[in-house]
């Protein structure tokens, strides 16, 4: 996972409302109208949060008649948590700096 992609996913997670939605979806799938009364924000606001989570592939949607149910992509969420402990390696960057004499040593 690139730094840019991971940053995008973390941005999708970095909001209390969206984290709460994810926590709720861990219990069971929910449709939009169930989520609205939990938060003190409008239905379009909830829709936009869900859309943001969907773009980040953190949730999936399934239409069931009138309702659209959202479900958690547990795999994607777990991946993201793990990615923080396995960031791409930048050792070569430091090597290049060394070659250019840009590293500071002051111990």
Which stretches of the chain bind its own copies, using CB under 8 A? 3-4, 6-8, 10-11, 13-16, 19-20, 22-24, 26-28, 31, 33-34, 37-38, 64-67, 77-78, 80-85, 87-91, 93-94, 97, 100, 102-104, 106-107
Residue 101's region, left for phi above 0, alpha for psi from -120 to 50, else beta, is: left
Measure Cα distances from 96 to 86, 91, 99, 102, 103 in Å: 22, 9, 5, 9, 10
Q: How far is the CB of 52 from DNA (least distance, A)?
A: 6
Q: Which residues bind DNA (CB under 7 A)?
A: 11, 14-15, 17, 31-33, 36, 40-45, 47-52, 61, 63, 65-69, 104
């Amino acid at each position: 996972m690139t730094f840019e992609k991971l940053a995008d996913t973390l941005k999708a997670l970095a909001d209390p409302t969206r984290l709460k939605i994810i926590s709720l979806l861990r219990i069971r799938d929910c449709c939009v109208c169930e989520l609205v009364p939990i938060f003190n924000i409008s239905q379009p606001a909830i829709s936009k949060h869900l859309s943001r989570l969907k773009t980040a592939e953190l949730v999936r949607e399934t239409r069931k008649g009138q309702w659209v149910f959202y479900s958690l992509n547990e795999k994607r969420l777990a991946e993201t948590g793990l990615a923080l402990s396995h960031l791409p390696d930048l050792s070569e960057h430091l090597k290049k700096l060394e070659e250019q004499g840009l590293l500071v040593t002051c111990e």
